[in-house]
């Protein structure tokens, strides 16, 4: 039996559908009852309160939810599958988690057709133990924090909630994810206009840091050169960027003498940063372009992945911090910046249609794992970040946003494969 708790259940090449079904059946034939790390559900109906269980697993030790298993009490009986009812199961599960649980837990989903009846499906949802608890489940006006105790969930009491907050504080101090603390005095900012000494009040800033890093790389010439090559291989193939060194970080400044300035940075311990102007300037004013923002984030995650592979040999979870600040006169771009995103730009990406990004100062922090860099995983990160940025001003993402991210992620993964091979 494979270990559904540890291997990459989303990797369909290494773990084909028949292997997934075999491992699920092994759980049943071995008599594995519901417990602290596993829960069975007959279908994906929210009436079974499975989102509560996701939050409880994230606040405890992580765990598996297997959908499509009938049972009696906490004992599984048979693998019967469930009727997807013409819905895309993986998307439905992911969207429910993202809309119900904050902060976003780290999870993986695999959906397979039942081999004895291909009209029915079996789904596995694996939830990792969270590093930034407490994870709160929200439904309507109810907001609750659950823990997994034996084969059931229980609402956290005062002492348990205090313990979860202590864990969050310890992990936050270990990850050093704050841009100010990670790149203290490192000039992780851009100028407006470029080549001036005017620090731009508008920024799009990303910072990522390993949660449990190996011994940090020394910021020597070899480390800097490896980081520079990652940027050049994936983003911009030139090696003449001005270099800025401070005590704990090194930055590479791009385009400052031309039109738009960008900076990539690396800090001791494996933290990586990126900053760029968030808007384009035209004769008609300033415009925020969602596709440009998503491309920046994909390139940043790609550079981080390459550097962690090549220099740090790190493949574990990281914390990603995103901050977006725009000017008071910023509108949303409704033009066509590139042929492949024609009709997939601007206000229609949001619900209700979003016309302005004026005076926005928003941020989010999520846990990410860049290995393996699958399309579903990257699309999920893009959607989570943008949803977290616009939800506080009363907006959500429309179905068109997923269409756009599929195009952008597909192009990015093709480019990443060429670089890695």
Q: Give me the pLDDT at residue 312, please.
A: 82
333 has a pLDDT exceeding 70: yes
- 162 and 111 in a single domain? The answer is yes
Per-residue pLDDT band for 310 (boundaries 50, 70, 90) equals confident
Q: What is the pLDDT of residue 238?
A: 66
What percent of the chain has a predicted confidence (pLDDT) above 90? 44
Nearest Cα to 38, choosing from 61, 22, 21? 61
Whether 133 and 22 map to the same domain: the answer is yes
156 located within any domain: yes
pLDDT of residue 337: 47
With contact defined as beta carbons under 8 Å apart, do 152 and 88 qualify?
no
User: Could you list the residue range(s) of the whole structural domain that residue 311 is in?
Assistant: 176-420
Q: In this predicted structure, what is the pLDDT of residue 173?
A: 55
Sign of the alpha-carbon dihedral angle for 98, 104, 105, 109: positive
Q: Does residue 246 sit in the same domain as residue 193?
A: yes
CA-angle at 311, arms to 277 and 184, nearest 5°: 45
Mean pLDDT of 270-287: 87
In a domain, 123, yes or no: yes
Share of the chain above pLDDT 70, in %: 90
Are 191 and 209 part of one and the same domain? yes
pLDDT value at position 10?
83
In this structure, what CATH number is given to the domain that contains residue 29?
A: 3.30.950.30
* 2 within a domain of the structure (yes/no): no
Which DSSP symbol is given to 350?
A: E
- The residue ranking higher by pLDDT, 272 or 99, is 272
* Angle ∠(305,306,310) on CA atoms, nearest 5: 120
Which of 144, 173, 202 delimits the end of a domain? 173
Between CA 77 and CA 81, with CA 79 as vertex, the angle to 5 degrees is 135
78 and 63 in one domain? yes
Angle among Cα 420, 406, 264 to the nearest 5 degrees reads: 50
Confidence (pLDDT) at 275: 94
Calculate the average pLDDT of the chain. Answer: 86
What is the CB neighbour count within 10 angstroms for residue 237?
Answer: 9
Give domain status of residue 66, yes or no: yes
The domain boundary residue, chosen from 173, 188, 213: 173
Same-domain check for residues 227 and 91: no
For residue 149, the model assigns a pLDDT of: 93
pLDDT digits (tens, 9 = 90+) for 90-124: 989 988 998 889 888 888 899 999 999 999 999 99
pLDDT digits (tens, 9 = 90+) for 365-387: 888 888 888 888 899 999 999 99
Residue 297 is assigned to a structural domain of this protein: yes
- Classify 323 as helix, strand or coil: strand
| Count of structural domains, the chain | 2
Q: What is the DSSP letter of 339?
A: G
Measure the CA–CA gap between 46 and 208, rounded to whole angstroms: 33
- What pLDDT is attached to residue 217? 65
Q: What is the DSSP letter of 84?
A: -
pLDDT tens digits, 38-71: 999 999 988 878 999 999 999 999 999 999 999 9
Q: Is residue 360 within 8 Å of 325, Cβ to Cβ?
A: yes
Region 136-150 average pLDDT = 91
Domain-located, residue 3: no
pLDDT tens digit sequence for 386-409: 999 998 888 889 988 988 899 999
Q: What's the length of the chain?
A: 421
Q: What's the CA gap between 2 and 19, in Å, rounded?
A: 8
Using the predicted structure, report yes or no on whether residue 338 has a pLDDT greater than 60. Answer: no
pLDDT in tens, 169-227: 776 555 445 566 667 667 888 888 877 888 888 999 999 988 776 665 678 888 899 99
**One domain, residues 126 and 199:** no
Residue with tokens 């033009």: 335
Residues with Cβ < 8 Å from 54, sequence gap 6 or more?
A: 65, 97, 100, 101, 105, 107, 125, 127, 137
What is the spatial distance between Cα 187 and Cα 267, in angstroms, rounded to a whole number?
Answer: 12
Quick count: other Cβ atoms within 10 Å of Cβ 360? 19
Q: How many angstroms separate the CA atoms of 304 and 270, rounded?
A: 9
How many C-beta atoms surround the C-beta of residue 327 within 10 A?
Answer: 18
Co-location of 163 and 200 in the same domain: no
Confidence (pLDDT) at 1: 44
* pLDDT above 80: residue 257: no
Does 140 fall in a domain? Answer: yes
**For residue 339, pLDDT beyond 70:** no
Question: How many Cα neighbours within 13 Å face the side chain of 337?
Answer: 21
Distance CA 363, CA 358 (A): 15
Whether residue 230 is found in the same domain as residue 117:
no
395 belongs to a structural domain: yes
Question: Cα(64)–Cα(169) distance, rounded to whole angstroms?
Answer: 26
pLDDT at 341: 45
Can you give the pLDDT at residue 171?
65
Kindly state the average pLDDT of the residues 268-296: 88
Structure tokens given for 140: 């309507």
Say yes or no: 186 and 158 in one domain.
no
Q: What is the DSSP string of 190-241?
A: -BSSTTSS-B-S-EEEEEEEESS--SPPP-SHHHHHHHHHHHHHHT------
Do 118 and 209 belong to one domain?
no
Write the DSSP symbol of residue 89.
H
Q: Are residues 221 and 344 in the same domain?
A: yes
Other Cβ atoms closer than 10 A to 92: 17
Which of residues 138, 173, 208 is at a domain's end? 173
């Amino acid at each position: 039996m494979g270990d559904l708790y540890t291997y990459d259940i989303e990797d369909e090449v290494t773990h084909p559908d028949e292997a997934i079904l075999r491992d699920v059946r092994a759980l049943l034939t071995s008599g594995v009852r519901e417990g602290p790390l596993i829960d069975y559900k007959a279908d994906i109906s929210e009436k079974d309160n499975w989102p509560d269980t996701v939050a409880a697993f994230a606040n405890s030790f992580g765990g598996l939810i297997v959908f499509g298993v009938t049972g009696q009490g906490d004992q599984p009986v048979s693998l019967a599958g469930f009727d997807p009812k013409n819905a895309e199961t993986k998307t439905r599960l992911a969207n429910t988690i993202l809309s119900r649980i904050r902060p976003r837990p780290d999870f993986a989903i695999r959906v397979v057709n039942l081999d004895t009846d291909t009209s029915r499906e079996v789904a596995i949802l694996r939830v990792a133990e969270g590093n930034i608890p407490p994870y709160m489940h929200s439904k309507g006006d109810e907001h609750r924090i659950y823990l997994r105790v034996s084969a059931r969930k229980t609402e956290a009491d005062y002492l348990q909630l205090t313990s979860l907050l202590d864990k969050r504080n310890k992990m936050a101090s270990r990850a050093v994810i704050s841009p100010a603390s990670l790149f203290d005095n490192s000039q992780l900012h851009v100028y407006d206009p470029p080549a001036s000494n005017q620090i731009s009040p508008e920024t799009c800033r990303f910072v990522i840091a390993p949660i449990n890093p190996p011994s940090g790389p020394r910021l020597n010439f070899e480390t800097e050169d490896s980081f520079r090559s990652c940027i050049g291989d994936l983003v911009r193939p030139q090696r003449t960027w001005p270099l800025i060194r401070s005590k704990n970080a090194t930055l590479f400044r791009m385009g400052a003498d031309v039109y738009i300035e960008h900076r990539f940075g690396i800090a001791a311990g494996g933290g990586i940063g990126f900053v760029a102007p968030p808007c384009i300037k035209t004769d008609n004013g300033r415009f925020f372009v969602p596709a440009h923002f998503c491309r920046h984030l994909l390139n940043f995650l790609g550079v981080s992945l390459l550097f962690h592979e090549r220099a740090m040999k790190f493949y574990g979870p990281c914390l990603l911090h995103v901050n977006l600040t725009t000017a008071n006169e910023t509108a949303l771009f409704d033009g066509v910046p590139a042929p492949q995103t024609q009709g997939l730009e601007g206000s229609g990406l949001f619900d209700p249609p979003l016309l302005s990004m004026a005076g926005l100062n928003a941020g989010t922090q999520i846990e990410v794992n860049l290995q393996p860099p699958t399309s579903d995983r990257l699309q999920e990160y893009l959607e989570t970040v943008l949803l977290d940025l616009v939800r506080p001003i009363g907006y959500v993402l429309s179905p068109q946003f997923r269409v756009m991210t599929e195009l952008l992620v597909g192009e990015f993964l093709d480019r990443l494969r060429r670089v890695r091979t």
